[in-house]
């Protein structure tokens, strides 16, 4: 008599073995590979389903090979002038660039992102300060407006921006809009058709057809970029949504803390380069680096004295430049590091950098939400707090509302404001972009904002934290095992 149960068991073991081999071959990050293997082995059938739905990288290899080739062609067309300016930035940057030469050179070599000088940079705190600047920049546009957003909603501010874009399109200004098909799925049926009817060119990034089964939920475009006439740019954590605007008359709405930058000058050119890469990829276009999109540096006025460099990475990158730049800033700091992030699920490299800095006497302060929007992610994040506290890191839980800002300020010299959280998803799976500003004034402003946020936060007491219920700590440690997959 045939023992079908034994045959099924042997077949399943064979399948699991083959899946584990696939994970080892296909996943370069050891922690991530181990997490998927444990999940596949200890969660029968469901583990295999989850891996093939969210973990397989074949889409990444297949879909982005053409994008990488296109990106390189565009890069060569704009790199010469920008690298000339980088040389001038090193020469004129004085002590600031001498002290941060390793960071700047690393980004130039790794990210092909040159230093840019003579920029004006404005720190924008929360949506109520960002959107008036955005609407004014759109109003003043003469040639083109390029927008790229992870989340865009068809609400009050979404409609205001929509109306402004359509008005400029009717005036003859070229308007292009990229929206992430997952993050901005709610605008596909109504707002996008209205934009198209009004003359705005639109394209979804990485279209999702079957939500329940598509691993396209990975590799999302998490960037928030606006470029106007190749001279004015916006980048940071604030999406286009009413939730980011804190109306004084509203007492029931959750307070939303976020940070953005307005950049004017040649620092915008790399944001433009990123947008054109993404547009060519998702719209099937072949826009090039002509002067209309990249104004000649010698024709640009001196807008300010800020030195700006852009760090960007994603599934199409050879290396995680966003991660590398953060790690380098932390290692270079000698006095103070102020980090704000809504999601803190670090990999070994950035965790080690923070621990080494704290143990070396650098004052490290970490500001995170008191309650994240995912209990499991929140638990995974809290599993790291004990070792950070033991090393001397001060951790603060933001109580006023939800803190969504992604910022880092070091020694009141270097500022990072962008779209990347400190987690595996930002460093490995999503398209992200951070702006790095080498300037004492901006770093001082960002530090002041950080300390103002601490007025609405509670500092974690190390002793009390370690004395929490064992079952709570065990759940957090269990969640941490899955952190590479979050």
Report the DSSP beta bridge partners of residue 235. Answer: 225, 261
Pick the catalytic residue: 406, 413, 423, 428? 406
Name the active-site residue from 222, 260, 306, 413: 222
What single DSSP character describes residue 427?
A: I
Concerning whether 404 is annotated as a catalytic residue, the answer is yes
List, in sequence order, every beta strand (DSSP E) within 319-371. 336-340, 344-345, 363-369
Residue whose structure tokens are 């001279």: 231
Q: Of 137, 96, 364, whose CA–CA distance to 235 is shortest?
A: 137
Q: What's the DSSP call for residue 221?
A: B
Active site annotation includes 229 = yes
User: Of 32, 146, 224, 260, which one is the catalytic site residue?
Assistant: 224
What are 29's two structure tokens?
Answer: 């990050």
Per the annotation, the verdict on 209 as an active-site residue is no
Measure the CA–CA gap between 178 and 184, rounded to whole angstroms.
10
Residue 422 pairs in a beta bridge with 344
Q: Are 215 and 259 in contact (CB under 8 A)?
A: no
Q: Does the active-site annotation cover 222?
A: yes
Q: Per residue, what are the HEC states of 461-473?
A: CHHHHHCCCHHHH
End-to-end CA distance of the chain: 46
Question: Cα–Cα distance between 217 and 59 in angstroms, integer?
Answer: 11
Per-residue tokens: 410: 């070091």
Instruction: Look up 411 and say whether it is catalytic.
Output: yes
Q: DSSP letter at 189? A: T
Using CA atoms, how far residue 41 sits from 17, 31, 36, 37, 57, in Å, is: 9, 15, 9, 6, 20
What DSSP string describes 271-302? HHHHHHHHHHHHH-------TTTS--GGGS--
CB 222 within 8 A of CB 426: yes
User: How far is residue 297's CA from residue 107's CA, in Å, rounded to a whole number?
Assistant: 20
**Of 180, 181, 229, 316, which is the active-site residue?**
229
What are the two backbone dihedrals, phi and then psi, of residue 320, each rounded to the nearest 5 degrees?
Answer: -80, 80
Q: Which of 71, 154, 411, 453 is catalytic?
A: 411
CA distance 438 to 263: 13
Q: Is 406 a catalytic residue?
A: yes
Residues 6+ apart with CB under 8 A from 204: 178, 179, 180, 181, 184, 188, 282
CA angle 329, 275, 66 (to 5 degrees): 100
Q: Which helix (H) or strand (E) holds 24?
A: helix 4-26
- Residue positions annotated with a catalytic role: 222, 224, 229, 404, 406, 411
């Amino acid at each position: 008599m045939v023992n079908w149960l034994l045959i099924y068991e042997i077949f399943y073991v064979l399948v699991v073995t083959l899946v584990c081999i696939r994970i080892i071959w296909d996943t370069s990050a050891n922690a991530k590979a181990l997490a998927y293997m444990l999940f596949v082995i200890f969660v029968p059938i469901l583990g295999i389903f989850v891996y093939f739905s969210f973990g397989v990288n074949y889409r990444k290899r297949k879909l982005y090979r053409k994008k990488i080739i296109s990106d390189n062609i565009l890069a060569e067309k704009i790199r010469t002038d920008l690298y000339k300016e980088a040389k001038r930035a090193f020469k004129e940057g004085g002590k600031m660039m001498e002290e941060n030469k390793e960071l700047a050179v690393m980004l130039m070599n790794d990210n092909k992102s040159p230093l840019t000088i003579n920029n004006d940079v404005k720190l924008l705190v929360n949506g109520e300060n960002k959107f008036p600047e955005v609407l004014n920049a759109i109003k003043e546009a003469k040639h083109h407006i390029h927008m790229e957003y992870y989340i865009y909603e068809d609400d009050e501010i979404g409609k205001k921006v929509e109306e402004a874009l359509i008005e400029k399109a009717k005036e003859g200004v070229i308007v292009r809009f990229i929206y992430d098909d997952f993050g901005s799925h709610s605008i596909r049926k109504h707002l996008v058709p209205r934009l198209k009817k009004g003359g705005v060119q639109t394209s979804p990034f990485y279209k999702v057809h079957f939500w329940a089964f598509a691993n396209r939920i990975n590799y999302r475009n998490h960037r928030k970029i606006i470029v106007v006439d190749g001279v004015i740019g916006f980048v940071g954590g604030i999406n286009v949504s009413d939730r980011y605007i804190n109306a004084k008359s509203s007492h029931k709405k959750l307070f939303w803390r976020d940070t953005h930058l307005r950049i004017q000058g040649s620092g915008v050119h790399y944001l433009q380069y990123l947008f054109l890469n993404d547009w060519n990829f998702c719209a099937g276009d072949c826009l090039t680096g002509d002067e209309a999109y990249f104004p000649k540096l010698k024709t640009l006025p001196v807008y300010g004295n800020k030195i700006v460099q852009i760090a960007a990475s994603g599934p199409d990158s050879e290396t995680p430049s966003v991660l590398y730049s953060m790690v380098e800033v932390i290692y270079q700091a000698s006095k103070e590091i102020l980090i704000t992030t809504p999601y803190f699920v670090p990999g070994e490299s950035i965790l080690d950098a923070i621990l080494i800095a704290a143990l070396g006497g650098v004052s490290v302060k970490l500001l995170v939400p008191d309650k994240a929007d995912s209990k499991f992610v929140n638990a995974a994040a809290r599993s790291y707090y004990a070792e950070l506290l033991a090393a001397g890191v001060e951790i603060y839980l933001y109580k006023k509302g939800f803190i969504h800002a992604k910022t880092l300020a070091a020694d009141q010299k270097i500022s990072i404001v962008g779209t990347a959280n400190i987690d595996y998803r930002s460093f490995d799976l999503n398209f992200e972009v951070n702006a790095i500003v080498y300037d004492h004034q901006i770093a001082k402003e960002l530090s002041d904002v950080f300390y103002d946020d601490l007025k609405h936060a509670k500092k974690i007491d190390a002793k009390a934290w370690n004395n929490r219920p064992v079952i709570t700590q065990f759940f957090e440690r269990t969640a941490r095992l899955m952190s590479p997959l979050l």
